[in-house]
A and B are shown apart, each in its own frame.
Chain A
Amino acid sequence: MNTRTLASRKARQSLAFGIIRLAMLMVVGALGGIILLLVVQGIGAINWTFLTDVPRDSMTKGGIFPAIVGTIYLTLGALLTALPLGLASAVYLSEYATQGRLLGLVRLGIQNLAGVPSVVFGLFGLALFVVHFHMGVSLAAGSLTLGLLILPTVIGASEEALRAVPAMFREASLSLGATRWQTIRKVVLPAAMPGILTGSILGIGRAAGETAPIMFTAATFYTLQLPSSPWQEVMALPYHIYVLATAGTHIDQTRPLQFGTVLVLITLVLGMSLTAILIRSRLRKSKKW
């Protein structure tokens, strides 16, 4: 029988907490380090011209305005694609479907969809949208591909939000002679909508930063004009970074612009996440059930 003294038990506790703290510091430190590096290296490149002008002199001068606009369009397009589809799937899964083998298969499919590498989505988009549906390399094809990429996230967020709606609301609605559809449309969806939206916006940050899905489907290396229809190709921040850093003819000369572009992209993504988190915390405060 080994009786441990209080001192030794406390020492073990300190050790365990120390390791946990260290792990936490490494995570936060990695994020902090990346952001610090980007700000230090990239802030010099950022000025009004950089944000509002088109690229000039083989990308070594000028700005990234078309890429910013292209990324915003692609992100919105992905949201417009994934939200209706994901919402409908989530409603089916959490409100209509009866437990069973089929439902298990569907869930398994969705989980696997989330694990598919993004480059596979890119090739799939190329085969289906660009080639088969003759969309060409275009904003539409890229939006649809990105939409499919974030579909599992949107379904997950929506299902979670739907499940958070108390069963007593459904019971009350049904007891008043509502059909299941009326109950979903008038009670469940309005109550779940804030959660669905914020969850989806958080998920879409991922789409904004993806390169692989858009490189075959939507992105172009260089265009001076902003897209005027969904059938045009666009510049996009992640692809722009990729090109500047690997494929350009003046890689060293564009280095400051690369950091500047990354800084803009990460600010955009963090800004989106932050907005979603703020909306969510505000809505949580106003909820009383």
Chain B
Amino acid sequence: MVESPARVAAPSPPTASPQENEETVLEVRRLNFYYDGDALALSDINMKILRHRVTALIGPSGCGKSTFLRLFNRMNDLIPGTRVEGQVLFEGVDIYGSDLDPVDLRRRVGMVFQKPNPFPKSIYNNVAYGPRLLGLCDQTALDGLVERSLKQAALWNEVKDILHHSALGLSGGQQQRLCIARALANQPEVLLMDEPTSALDPIATAHIEELVGELRRDYTVVIVTHNMQQAARVSDETAFFYMGKLVEMDKTSLIFTRPRHAQTEHYITGRFG
């Protein structure tokens, strides 16, 4: 695994003391989630996600962490028969309340998927996709937004001369950064990442991890990962899920040095999972 020396341990944000900077963006209250009407996949979850932090969701396969992540942009709505109880507050508004349109929500809460999934379109048209949905068609504005987004995703230098080539010609790691750029072009407040490096090689993974560290400055990031070293490297807060329950959540440095629960300790020391 490639690591930049500065990011071996989870860094705490250099500015300000935690108390002053802790603003909750997403809050989950007494949440239960069911597949097929009555199969309980998540039970009684309570969680606060802080602005401009990277929150890692870890846990063994099938523990519900990806399901949980997809609650935040209501992607679970696409699966018939699912049901949500409890509240998910985004800036104080319950996103499962009746007056919030998921289409609107997804513009503010972007997502990057496990497998890079650029559209079979040009690099430019991939990034411009979201803004165009909103009706932005001013060429200069679009150009600027595409450039800015690709720069934020650390891809600009590699693709600036081939913007109108097919996105499918890029390598897997480049495609995943393109997907990040595509999500950022919507200027979301929150970026959800569902195991974004699980399909990538170590070098591409290191690129993405470095990028996540930088995205923290402008965005709130929630990342699901299978890889505990990755959680330790990139995140400020870590939540450990086991069998549909949130076992514990704390600052990453604490979770990895002094976990309060035996299950957490067993998992992060590799005894199961």
Contacts and interface: CB of A to CB of B under 8 A. Distances in A.
B133 A289 contact: no
B251 interface: no
A177 B111 contact: no
B197 interface: no
A182 interface: yes
Interface string A164-196: 001011011111111100100011001100000
A288 interface: yes
B73 interface: yes
Contact of A176 (B80, B106, B120, B168): B106
Contacts of B106: 174-177
B218 to A, nearest CB: 18
B117 A176 contact: no
B111 A175 contact: yes
Contacts of B179: 172
Interface in B105-129: 106-107, 110-111, 113, 115, 117-121, 129
B104 A168 contact: no
B52 interface: no
Contacts, number: 64
Interface residues of B, number: 26
B145 interface: no
Given A169-B117, A191-B120, A177 B130 contact: yes
Given A168-B117, A179-B103, A288 B168 contact: yes
B119 A172 contact: yes
Nearest to B105: A177
B120 A168 contact: no
Contacts of A178: 103, 129, 133
B182 interface: yes
A5 interface: no
B2 interface: no
Contacts of A172: 113, 117-119, 179, 182
Contacts of A166: 117
Given A169-B119, A288-B168, A289-B120, A176 B130 contact: yes
B121 to A, nearest CB: 8
Interface string A150-173: 000000000000000010110111
Contacts of B103: 177-179
Nearest to A170: B78
Contacts of B6: none
A191 B87 CA distance: 38
B120 A177 contact: no
Interface in B63-81: 73, 75, 78, 80
A178 B179 CA distance: 15
B48 to A, nearest CB: 23
Nearest to B183: A176
A175 B133 CA distance: 12
Nearest to B134: A177
Contacts of A190: 120-121
Contact of B113 (A171, A177, A182, A287): A171
Contact of A177 (B80, B104, B118, B168): B104
B186 interface: yes
Contacts of B117: 166, 168-169, 171-172
Contact of B129 (A98, A173, A179, A287): A173
26 contacts: A98-B80, A168-B115, A169-B117, A169-B119, A169-B120, A171-B75, A171-B113, A172-B113, A172-B117, A173-B119, A173-B129, A174-B78, A175-B106, A175-B110, A175-B111, A175-B113, A176-B183, A176-B186, A177-B103, A177-B106, A177-B130, A177-B186, A179-B103, A186-B129, A191-B120, A288-B120
Interface of B: 73, 75, 78, 80, 103-104, 106-107, 110-111, 113, 115, 117-121, 129-130, 133-134, 168, 179, 182-183, 186
- Ranked 6 nearest A-B pairs via Cβ: A177-B107, A168-B117, A175-B111, A176-B130, A177-B106, A288-B168
